[in-house]
Amino acid sequence: MRKLKNVKIFVMGLVAGMLLVGTTVFAAGAIASAAFNANRVIFDGDELDLDMPLVSIVTEANPDFFSNYMPVRAVLEAMGYEVDWDGANNAVLVTTRAIAPVTANELGATVWLSATGIRYHSVNDCGNMDPARARSMTRQQARDDGHQACAICW
């Protein structure tokens, strides 16, 4: 697995499947090349289920190095945020989703942990989880073990 060393959220990048031709000029200089890649994003131990690929960008100023740029909507939605586009202000609007508080009887509910994840899920196949490797426990046990709820399935 290739390790992502220079992951940056490129806010003016791909929004809602649309490549924005920006009015903002960044100090990085001209782009020498840009290409979609198959790199994955692991968030708190769980692979994000992205519907768009990352982009490798090489700048003319630093031709021996590439940076991974992520499609902001796909990544943030996979992390559990709401994403909107404010075209009038050239702004990506990121909002934390409201997560309902946990009631006492919900603590006895069965939750699932992926083989490597640190978040617990309400289903055993959230995102790219392998159901065959997921393990179940009560929500109380998961919380007692320091796990937090997945923002996608809760």
Q: Does 153 bind Zn ion (CB under 5 A)?
A: yes
Q: Segment 56-115, which members bind Zn ion (CB under 5 A)? A: none
Stretch that binds Zn ion, among 48-56, 60-68, 108-116, 145-153 (CB under 5 A): 145-153
Q: Does 126 bind Zn ion (CB under 5 A)?
A: yes
Stretch that binds Zn ion, among 11-19, 52-60, 96-104, 118-126 (CB under 5 A): 118-126
Nearer to Zn ion, 10 or 120 (CB): 120
Number of CB atoms found within 10 A of residue 69's CB: 20
**How far is the C-alpha of 34 from the C-alpha of 62, rounded, in Å?**
13
Task: Give the binding-site size for Zn ion (rule: CB under 5 A).
Answer: 5
Nearer to Zn ion, 53 or 80 (CB): 80
* Near Zn ion by CB under 5 A: residue from 121, 134, 139, 142: 121
Find the radius of gyration of the CA atoms of the chain.
18
CB of 46 to Zn ion, least distance (A): 8
CB of 127 to Zn ion, least distance (A): 6
Q: What are 53's two structure tokens? A: 């690929």
**60 touches 3 (CB < 8 A):** no
Who contacts 107 (Cβ-Cβ below 8 Å, separation ≥6)? 138, 139, 140, 143
**43 touches 14 (CB < 8 A):** no
Q: Does 150 bind Zn ion (CB under 5 A)?
A: yes
**How far is the C-alpha of 45 from the C-alpha of 116, rounded, in Å?**
6
Chain residues that interact with Zn ion, rule: CB under 5 A: 121, 126, 150, 152-153
